Amino acid sequence: MSTLSLRVLNRALLQRQFLLTRTEHTPLEVIRRLVAMQAQEPNWPFVGLWSRIREFEHAGLTTLLEDRRVVRSGLLRSTQHLTRADDFRRFRPLLQPVLDRTASAAYFSRNSAGLDTGELVTAGLEFLADQAMPRRELARRLAESYPDRDGRILAGEVEMRSALIHDPATAGWGAWGTRPSVSVTAVEVGEPANAMELIRRYLAAFGPASVKDVQAWSGLTRLSEIVASMSGELRRYRDPHGKELVDLADAQLPDADTPAPVRLLPAFDNVLLGHTDRTRIIADEDRKRIMPGRALVLPAFLVDGRVHGSWSLSGGELRLTPFRPLTVDNRAALEDEAHRLLPFVAAERVSFPARP
């Protein structure tokens, strides 16, 4: 069983995420490869695709959302993601136990104590009646049906327990941050995908990886036996700490010396969230800076394939904050990449902090 260095694991991850070289694939093809794109705030997946696709424009994703070929909904780890509509119809039922577990947490259960869960979901779906409805209106109607309950939390529980997608207007490019008014529509789902398929899709985008990595990314548990049953189609490795990793048998590993260009990652990018041990792309001390708590994952930039700092947008300024000094060449490459992003995010200038 071969041992893979962190650098090989890094290059493999970047290659599969289209972060070594921008791809000519369509946005729909890239989203399929990534399985789903974290979309806690709607604008960030657009930036994620810009960093991966050559000459990507906003319309490339907006059209997919308007045509309902890509949808935004709760999915991996019970958080908002963009995914292909056909994948959503199959993966949402597979992942529903994860969302049900979240819906049973104290935040929801304290509010719905004594209510029949099935009746609550049925009531919510009857209000929706196959049409788009603002979340606040759904909350109002549920509050009328269940007095002395917080209708907003009831609506959130219904959204966790049933397949509701967001309307294209609130999933598309627009104001930064979360949208104050989101409309949801109930959709039909199909037979759940097999967990083996989800594991294969994960490895194609994030491998080589451990069973715990798959579980951390998906929210599913008890996948060890399923991965063991796939031994005939998987290749096994060890990481530098001796932990067992698995990968698709036909997946290629890039050379450790493959150049990795500067890249700007959006907030919440799954490339930083797809593993339990994330040291292949971010050092532990930097992880605390990019993930400071309150479920935040800040925008980051990569130098030589690893997180080297964060970036932010404010008042027409794209501000780069390195965590350690940059070489002259790396600083020039970073500034060049940031300037290329300016028109896409409607910013005007690039800046660095006055003191590193």
pLDDT recorded at residue 256: 96
CB 63 within 8 A of CB 56: no
pLDDT in tens, the chain (356 residues): 899 999 999 999 999 999 999 999 999 999 999 999 999 999 999 999 999 999 999 999 999 999 999 999 999 999 999 999 999 999 999 999 999 999 999 999 999 999 999 999 999 999 999 889 999 999 999 999 999 999 999 999 999 999 999 999 888 999 898 888 899 999 999 999 999 999 999 999 999 999 999 999 999 999 999 999 999 999 999 999 999 999 999 999 999 999 999 999 999 999 999 999 999 999 999 999 999 988 899 999 999 999 999 999 999 999 999 999 999 999 999 999 999 999 999 999 999 986 65
Sign of CA dihedral 277, 281, 283, 289: negative
Element (H, E) at 303: strand 300-303
Tell me which residue of 131, 123, 48, 50 sits closest to 82, measured CA to CA: 48
Helix axes 27-34, 195-206, angle to 10 degrees: 110
Give the pLDDT confidence score for residue 295 in this predicted structure: 85
Specify the pLDDT at position 355. 66
Angle at 43 between CA 165 and CA 64, to 5 degrees: 50
